[in-house]
C-alpha cells in the first residue's frame, strides 16, 4: 500500500504543506517535492510518473512522491512524529 503525501499527512494528523515542510527541513524532499535521495530512500519513498493529454497543450507530464507502507514508521522516526495507535482488534470476541 502506498500513500500520497496528503494521505500520509492526514495519517500523522498534519496538513500536506506541514509534512512537506518537515520533510524538506530534514533533507528528504527536494524543491520539486520529490525524494532528495531516490536510491537511498527507495524502500520508503517512490516517484510516481503520470501523463495525460490536454486538448490545447498536448501531452502533459507530472511526477509526485508516494510513501510506501514501510515508509510510514520510517518517516515518523525521521521527523520525530508519533505513529497513531493501532485500534484494538475485537473480531475474536464472542
10 in a structural domain: yes
pLDDT one-digit tens code per residue, 12-57: 999 999 999 999 999 999 999 999 999 999 999 999 999 999 999 9
Contact 45, 63 (CB under 8 A): no
Percent of all residues in the chain with a pLDDT value above 90, rounded to a whole number: 85
The position carrying cell 515508509 is: 71
Q: How many domains does the chain have?
A: 1
Q: Is 8 helix (H, G, I), strand (E, B) or coil?
A: helix
91 in a structural domain: no
20 in a structural domain: yes
| pTM across the whole model | 0.84
Range of the domain at 42: 2-79
Amino acid at each position: 500500500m502506498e500513500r500520497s503525501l496528503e494521505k500520509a499527512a492526514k495519517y500523522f494528523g498534519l496538513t500536506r504543506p506541514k509534512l512537506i515542510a518537515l520533510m524538506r527541513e530534514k533533507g528528504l524532499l527536494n524543491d520539486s517535492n520529490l525524494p532528495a535521495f531516490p536510491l537511498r530512500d527507495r524502500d520508503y519513498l517512490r516517484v510516481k510518473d503520470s501523463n495525460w493529454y490536454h486538448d490545447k497543450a498536448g501531452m502533459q507530464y507530472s511526477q509526485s512522491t508516494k510513501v510506501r507502507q514501510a515508509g510510514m514508521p520510517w518517516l515518523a522516526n525521521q521527523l520525530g512524529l508519533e505513529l497513531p495507535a493501532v485500534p484494538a482488534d475485537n473480531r475474536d470476541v464472542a
